[in-house]
Chain A
Amino acid sequence: MKKGIKRTLALVFAVTLMISLFSACTGKNSQSTPGKSETSPASSEQNNQSESSAVKTPLEPVKLEVMLWGDKPNQFDEIVDEFERQTKDTLNIDLNVTWTPLADYGNKIKLMLSAGQKIDLAFDAPWLNMPSLIANGSYIELDKYFNNDQYPGLKKAFNESLLNNNKFAGPDKQQHVYGVPLGQGYAPVYALYYRKDLAQKYGISEIKTYEDMLAYFDAVKNNEPGITPYMFNKDQYPPAWIIDGNRAIKIDQAKNKVWEVSTGPSGVAKLYIEDNKIKAAYLPGESTDALKDFPAPFNTIDYTTNEEILNWHEKGYIESNAINRKDAQDQFTAGKGGSYLQTLDSYVALENALKAAVPGSELGVYVYENNVRNMEPASLITEFKFWNFLSIPATSQNADRSMMFLDWIFANQQNHDLFEYGIEGKNWIAVGDDKYKLPDGVDPGQNYVFPGYQLTWNPNYMRLAEAYPQDVVKYYGYVAQDTTFLKHISSGFSFNGEPVKNETANPSFAKMAADNSGFELGLIKNVADNKAKQEQNLLKDKRLQEDIQKIKAELVQQLQAFLDAQ
């Protein structure tokens, strides 16, 4: 018996002891941060004029915890080492970047904040956590770091109007900078990529108009049975983009003082605004009576685009059911798609993939928005907003140092390019001031490719790959000019959905979006009838109607207040 007790107890103790011992040990280990105490005097090897004026005395070492998403780029550790080597005597930062898959990134940030973990810089965006984290005070205001001579790099890269357009309303209802805005342009130029070799085979030398495009689709449909004329992913670029783009609907609306403003998951509202006063508003899902005060022809719902989509479907220009399509780009580059929609900067990637898979193929580009194609002014509507930001949580102790780090990156082209492109000569070669190419013999699959939109993108420091043809490059010049853009009336405004959080969480909105995809894919015949039926059903949903009215009222109130303050 005694032996029995001993052995039982011994085992119980052993197991629990083992567990706690090991976890304690390794727990302690993870906490000790190796301090890099460099005491060598400051003679930085890099010619950082802007830096030497800002930082005179050597700083204590600081470890910055940066949260970014996606895969860790190849050779990233080497770039960080190089950065730390260059700034050892000036910034003295131990840079630690954690990469998390995007699907989990949003939640992980929230969890880390809940547990009080150290985050100094985090990527965030209006489509991610920014609205809720700004509203509950998780991010600090960064206004004081900009237009500040202590941070010349930031001052140079971010001008007044850029900042003003990328402010958010904080808990104090005032507009502040809550994130460093990262972007290369205010609006991308979208284009329809097509198979020039096929077009030429069927007598169309180049697609220059909408009719040319339809002729191309016909030719492909009738002569190439294995190729779908227009290939798209269900959630990405449905035919409506091209059709609407061609009709220049948004520009038309804007010229008639009708503007679209997003309310988040509850849809995109249309507002009729005259002399900075909101005269009428409509949120999809509510009765079309709300449209009657809009100027014609915007006072009724127009189904022309849906009819045209159905037409495309019946003519066989699109797949019979694209609902499960997720790899449209791969299909196009493998030769199974006749055309594909993407931004202009995908040109090089698409061309490489296409040429590799389909011998004798040639990539053609058709910019389907007529005004844009002709490079006319005031053709792209924009709020001058960027979509990617770097924010600093309120729990960080190193806000100043983090901003100094960013100041360094934006101080000059050299610093910027270190992170954006890698080590010069090894990962890339400069071609002039604004282009670059890969060194010979470098395997693109193993090379350093950094997601600039998370740290480095800025309109002042852009380089284009040398391989872009002049056709594409000219559009980059076009979007670099301010005159190209038509300023959206709500520039600088972002809807704060917190007061109507429960209303926007109404599952009917998600269901509405899911139902609309049937129309978007051309799967539903008798468009007018079925749309009317859909409307009837939505009107019957009392809760939805109540929620829509509440959200609309909130939007109008917020937007009007914003407009009044202009």
Chain B
Amino acid sequence: MKHEGIRDLAKNRYIYLMTLPALLFSLIFSYLPLAGIAIAFQDFNPIKGVFGSEFIGFRNFEFFFRGQDWFIVTFNTVFLNILFIGFGTLLSITLAIMLSELGKSLFVRGMQSIMILPNFISWPIVGLFSVAFLTADTGTLDGLMKGLGISDAYMDSSIWPVILLLFSLWKGAGFGAIVYLAAIAGIDKGLYEAAKIDGASRLQCIFRITLPMLKSTIIMLFLLALGGIFSGTLDMIYSLVGDNSFLFPTTDTIDTYVFRTLRTQGSFGMSQAIALYQSIIGFILVLLSNQLVKKFDKDSSIF
């Protein structure tokens, strides 16, 4: 095995050389700072620095794991993220396919450009507007909500996963479609021509050619997203929910929970500790999924 590896290094030396700038970058900016993980286990003192602060084992993790909250909050994080990723991917693919089928007219290109606009509005601004839409008595959607039997959106936690999903789709689905559009653009047009000659309908072309060709992109993006399932929600949820405790049961995630608790404390050690927790469980999840994917399709796995 080793012999094969060394032979490969020699045979493909120019290709390996191509990997150098990126590897160097990764070493300096990603691996060197990893020393900071030690802070999770320290009583960090800025003056003493990373190498001088006192080691305190798992004490920084205690505040989070005592009691039941950590489970609820982890569950919310995973549930909401899966919701966003699942529906988001579905919608993005659908949009991409529809747009690619409609051609290149100015109108279609215009719609494409419009769809990505929400992505450029930051969550704090979205938060400002969400109040205007959802507030009882005066909000724009008030009539609709009353019709659905919801008296005050800001007091009813059960509908918020749906509300958050809608916001997430609004902001990200159009932009996410770009990747799939690029992938579709790369599909060999000859395949479609051959299929049409054989008498395939448009729908059949979509399901028999487009989708299978997108398979590896979809799987890879999904795998990449999987690792982040335990984090990445702070901006969005804090901007929309804020400190409204009525909504915490279904919208409180690891990020918002920790942010709220440490806001007044500001301990580097504690926040690093929870970040480590998020990294580790995400990592385990991806390791397992990657192995699974490798069994079915060797080229779609990440590593």
Contact = CB atoms under 8 A, between A and B. Distances in A.
In the complex they form, whether A and B have CB atoms below 8 Å apart is answered with yes
A510 interface: yes
A501 B248 contact: no
Nearest to A504: B265
A137 B49 CA distance: 13
A265 B135 CA distance: 30
Contacts of B152: 321
Contacts of B18: 8, 12
Interface residues of A, number: 46
Nearest to B128: A326
B136 interface: yes
A447 interface: no
A320 B137 contact: yes
A12 B20 contact: yes
Interface string A313-341: 00000001101100000000000000000
B121 interface: no
Contact of B245 (A110, A129, A514): A514
A532 interface: no
Interface stretch (B61-69, B168-176, B223-231, B276-284): B61-69
A125 B245 CA distance: 28
Nearest to B243: A514
13 contacts: A8-B17, A136-B46, A137-B45, A264-B264, A501-B265, A502-B62, A505-B265, A506-B63, A507-B63, A511-B248, A514-B243, A517-B243, A517-B245
Contacts of A110: 46, 266, 268
A505 B46 contact: no
B135 A508 contact: no
Interface of B: 14, 17-18, 20-21, 24, 45-50, 59, 62-64, 66-67, 69, 131, 135-137, 152, 154-155, 242-246, 248, 257, 260-268, 270
Interface in A1-19: 4-5, 8-9, 12, 15-16
A321 B266 contact: no
Given A138-B47, A395-B47, A517-B243, A323 B261 contact: no
A505 B63 contact: yes
Given A9-B17, A505-B270, A507-B63, 6 more contacts: A16-B21, A114-B46, A136-B45, A323-B154, A323-B242, A505-B267
Contacts of A523: 155
Contacts of B131: 324
A543 interface: yes
Contacts of B261: 505-507, 510
B63 A502 contact: yes
Contacts of B24: 16
Given A321-B154, A511-B248, A543-B67, A502 B59 contact: yes
Contacts of A106: 266
Nearest to A541: B67
B245 A511 contact: yes
Contacts of B50: 114
A132 B24 CA distance: 38
